[in-house]
C-alpha cells in the first residue's frame, strides 16, 4: 500500500516553464491528505524555494539533496559539513581552479560573491530565495553548510569531476541535477537517505513509497521506492534501468497523472 509519495522538482514535478497545474494539484493533495498519505518534495533546491512553490501546505520538504528536512515550517533534521573540510573544497574550487560562480549553501542562507556576473546572480536568486552576496568565499558567514552548487563548462574544466573525486572523495560526493549542474553533497546524505529516515520514523518501508525523478541525484530515491517512476523526458538513461515504471513527461504533468490513475483510483475502489 502506498503511504508516501516523493517527487523531484525540476524536470519532474515542474514543467519546462517551472510551473504546475496548481488547481489540479490542490485537489489531489487534499485527497491524499484525507487518506493520511504523505506528500514529500524531494529536491536539490533550497527549502525557501520549495516553500515558494507549495506555499503553506502541511507537507514534507527534503531540501538540498537530502541534507535538510522540514515538516511544514518546522526544521525536522539536517546534516552539515565539517567546516574545515568544507572550506578546503571551497578554496580549491575558488582559488586553485578560479571558479567564482559558486553557490555556497548554508542552513540559514545561500551565498554568492558580490562581483559575479549579473546573469549568474539572476539565476542564483531564482533558485535560492534566501541568498546573500558576500565579498569573499574565504570569509564565510557563521552558518551550518550543507551543499555547494555550481555549473561547469566541461570544455574549460574537462577534468574537474575526476579531480574532485581524487582530492576530496572522503569529504564530498558529486551528483548531477541535470546538464552541467553539479551539487557537491555530504557523502551518504542523499534524497534516498533522507527518505529512509522518514520511512523509519513512520514505521514504513520502501514498499510503501512512490517516487518520481529524472536525474542522477534521484537515483537512490528511485532505488528505495517499490513504486518508482522515471520521467519520460529524462536524459539519464541509467534511470530507466533503475525505475520500475516510466511516467509521462513533466510537460504532460506526468506526476499528477500517475497519482490520479494509480493512487486515487485505488482509493476510490476500496
Which are the catalytic amino acids? 8
User: Which string of DSSP letters, residue by residue, matches 114-171?
Assistant: TTS-HHHHHHHHHH-SSEEEES-TTSPPS--EEEEEEE--TTTSTTHHHHHHHHHTTT
Place of cell 560562480: 101
φ, ψ of residue 214 to 5 degrees: the values are -140, -5
Classify the C-alpha dihedral 93-95-99-105 as positive or negative: positive
Q: Say how far apart CA 127 and CA 267 lie, in whole Å.
A: 35
C-alpha cell at 200: 523509519
Q: Say how far apart CA 213 and CA 216 lie, in whole Å.
A: 9
Amino acid at each position: 500500500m502506498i503511504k508516501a509519495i516523493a517527487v523531484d522538482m525540476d524536470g519532474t514535478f515542474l514543467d519546462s516553464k517551472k510551473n504546475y497545474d496548481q488547481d489540479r494539484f490542490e485537489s489531489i493533495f487534499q485527497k491524499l491528505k484525507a487518506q493520511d498519505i504523505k506528500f514529500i518534495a524531494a529536491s536539490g533546491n533550497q527549502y525557501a524555494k520549495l516553500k515558494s512553490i507549495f506555499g503553506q501546505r502541511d507537507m514534507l520538504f527534503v531540501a538540498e539533496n537530502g541534507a535538510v528536512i522540514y515538516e511544514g515550517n518546522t526544521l525536522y533534521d539536517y546534516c552539515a559539513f565539517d567546516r574545515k573540510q568544507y572550506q578546503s573544497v571551497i578554496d580549491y574550487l575558488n582559488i586553485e581552479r578560479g571558479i567564482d560562480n559558486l553557490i555556497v549553501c548554508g542552513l540559514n542562507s545561500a551565498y554568492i560573491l558580490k562581483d559575479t556576473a549579473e546573469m549568474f546572480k539572476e539565476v542564483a536568486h531564482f533558485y535560492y530565495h534566501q541568498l546573500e552576496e558576500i565579498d569573499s568565499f574565504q570569509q564565510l558567514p557563521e552558518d551550518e553548510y550543507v551543499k555547494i552548487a555550481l555549473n561547469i563548462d566541461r570544455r574549460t574544466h574537462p577534468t574537474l569531476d575526476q579531480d574532485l573525486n581524487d582530492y576530496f572523495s572522503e569529504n564530498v560526493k558529486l551528483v548531477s541535477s541535470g546538464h552541467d549542474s553539479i551539487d557537491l553533497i555530504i557523502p551518504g546524505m542523499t534524497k534516498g537517505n533522507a527518505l529512509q529516515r522518514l520511512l523509519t520514523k513512520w514505521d514504513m518501508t520502501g514498499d510503501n513509497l512512490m517516487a518520481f525523478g529524472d536525474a542522477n541525484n534521484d537515483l537512490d530515491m528511485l532505488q528505495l521506492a517499490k513504486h518508482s517512476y522515471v520521467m519520460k523526458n529524462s536524459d539519464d538513461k541509467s534511470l530507466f534501468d533503475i525505475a520500475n515504471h516510466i511516467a509521462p513527461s513533466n510537460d504532460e504533468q506526468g506526476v499528477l497523472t500517475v497519482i490520479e490513475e494509480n493512487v486515487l483510483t485505488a482509493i476510490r475502489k476500496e
